[in-house]
A and B are shown apart, each in its own frame.
Chain A
Amino acid sequence: MIELRGIGLRGSGRARLEGVDLHLASARVYGLIGPNGAGKTSLLCVIGGLVRPTSGLVIRPVGEDVRIGAVIGASGLHPGRTVGETLRLAASLGPGGQRDVETALGSCGLTGVASRRVGSLSLGMKMRLAVAVALSCDPHILILDEPMNGLDPDGIAWVRQVVSQARGRGSTVVISSHLLGELAQLIDTAVVLSRGRVRHIEDMHDQRSIRSSIRVDVPSRLTAALDAAGIVWHEVRDGLVVHAPVGRTARLAVESGADILSARQFVKDLDDVYSRASSGEHLSWVSS
């Protein structure tokens, strides 16, 4: 969908981005993580074409109208404009022209506020409106910078749904957030940034690093099956940690004649992904 090659960006006398190479594929969600000042927002702006990089190339598909929706803070909303007019203006830039404002508002949980001024909305409502504006063009690339800021639990769940639906439509979603626990549930790929450089890229669904935890009535039967299949495992206090997806582990357990008492798959902890990227330590795991 979009490829960045050797992107550099200088501003205020310092390098905001340096040598960033990134390939962003369709129907995937990318999470940018890193400390404040790492270059996350700068990178999002470069991806969106809002900032021209001082070096490097941004490669988009030739001859295709790549529509981009972006939420970079809620500052892109005029406080004196009504919510309805804000959405109508945004929709007029999209491929479908004017759309039903009330339907759009309903889909972002803002029913009945079309006539209210943007300036009178709460931070969470502004964020929902900003996301609705970004979605109004039916984007191929959706950029979300700290989209959970100011949102209540319902709002955060809504963002999850928005991201999931965008991925389902084949959009590329690039999202940055300091809420790593929330981000871990959304993304396919974690991109760790520090001091303007990409330090690490982690595929969150990489089969080689997926682990599962399982408890069976006769562990020796399962361990024998695991050894025969060449799958690494180790014993922990309440069962086995197996270097394989939970489905395969459970299948082997059943085939070995062991009864499964409990089984679950681990997800990667973005805190650990970030720590490993910045310190080189080994990845640790938490259960989902």
Chain B
Amino acid sequence: MGFGGLVVLELRKRIDSRGAHIGAAALVLAVVASALAGAAVVGRNTPAAVAEVVVVAGLPAVLSAALIGVVVGVGDAPYGGERDAVLRGLSRTAVFTARGVVAVLFAAALVVLVFLASVGATGILWLGGSGLSAEDVGARVGELSALVVTGCTTGFGIGASCRSLAPAILTVLVVVLLVDAALSVAGGWSVYLRFSTVQNALVGSAGLLPAITSAAIWIGVPLVTGWFRTTRSRLT
């Protein structure tokens, strides 16, 4: 089996359990509901701005991106998930990388889902006779992609580092909801430490140096730790 096959295998493993089905269904419902809610709000304006629908529909995607990353990063590590691949002679680094590719694919799918839900919701407005404005749609989709990919990558690194779902989810929630919020009121220097800095940099609202330190802390360290644990953990 080559690397492509391994990616397909890891992808299948993430979508074939009951928990995955429930999670995916909940996420699709949340995105569609947000898109419809966003369309209902912006539909009061003339013309209705599609970009604003994308922003509202993207909220659940941005919030859940890190959790999706966690799920992929943990993988089936608690059940010795790398074991069969290693027994077949594949390296653990290959398994880690394949999972990383799956995380990026999920992030991309999430962005596509938001885009399609937004288009669908605004399509309903159009059918109802509302005027539409496509201004800034590309920029908003780009920002959404940056937020989703960074969140997913950080979650993936934390998941691979923890190798267990509950502590990984707790860590992500603490980082996103508590640590970042606490740092944001700590002073200007905290911009170098906050997770949101790297996300802001990707949408053009943060400097290069703070972005580098933020990315190193919240993306680099989790990824390296995750790789180290994936390649060193005992598979029994």
Interface residues of A (CB under 8 A from B): 11, 41, 45, 48-51, 65-70, 72-73, 75-82, 85, 89-90, 92-94, 117, 133, 137
Contact = CB atoms under 8 A, between A and B. Distances in A.
Given A68-B87, A76-B79, 18 more contacts: A49-B89, A50-B236, A65-B89, A67-B88, A69-B87, A72-B236, A75-B80, A76-B80, A76-B81, A78-B17, A78-B76, A80-B17, A80-B19, A81-B13, A82-B16, A89-B9, A92-B9, A93-B84
A134 to B, nearest CB: 8
Nearest to B18: A80
14 contacts: A11-B234, A50-B87, A51-B234, A72-B83, A76-B80, A77-B79, A78-B17, A80-B20, A82-B16, A92-B1, A93-B84, A93-B85, A93-B88, A133-B84
Q: Is the interface of B mostly helix, strand, loop or mixed?
A: helix
B9 A93 contact: yes
Given A50-B234, A85-B16, A76 B83 contact: yes
Interface string B67-106: 0000000001001110111111100000000000000000
Interface in B161-188: none
B79 A50 contact: no
A137 B1 CA distance: 12
A78 B80 CA distance: 9
Contact of A92 (B5, B18, B20, B80): B5
Contacts of A78: 13, 17, 76, 79, 81
B80 A49 contact: no
B26 interface: no
Interface residues of B, number: 24
Contacts of B88: 67-68, 93-94, 137
Contacts of B79: 75-79
B136 to A, nearest CB: 41
Contacts of B85: 93
Contact of B234 (A45, A49, A89, A90): A45
Q: Which of B5, B86, B234, B236 has the most chain A CB atoms inside 10 A of its CB?
A: B236
A75 B84 contact: no
Interface of B: 1, 5, 9, 12-13, 16-20, 76, 79-81, 83-89, 234-236
Contacts of B84: 76, 89-90, 93, 133
Q: Which of A48, A76, A117 has the most chain B CB atoms inside 10 A of its CB?
A: A76
A94 B89 CA distance: 11
Contact of A70 (B16, B20, B76, B87): B87
Contacts of A68: 87-88
Contacts of A81: 13, 16-17
Nearest to A77: B79
Contacts of B234: 11, 45, 50-51
B93 to A, nearest CB: 13
Contacts of B19: 80
Contacts of B20: 80
B92 to A, nearest CB: 10
Contacts of A11: 234
Nearest to A41: B236
Contacts of A117: 18
Given A75-B79, A93-B1, A93-B84, A50 B9 contact: no
A89 B87 contact: no
Contacts of B13: 78, 81, 89
Nearest to B75: A78
A76 B13 CA distance: 13
Contacts of A51: 234-236
Contacts of B17: 78, 80-81
Nearest to B87: A68
A45 B235 contact: yes
Q: What are the 4 closest A-B residue pairs judged by CB atoms, nearest first?
A: A80-B17, A76-B80, A50-B235, A68-B87
A70 B83 contact: yes
Q: Which of B79, B81, B234 has the most chain A CB atoms inside 10 A of its CB?
A: B79
A90 B76 CA distance: 14
Contacts of B1: 92-93
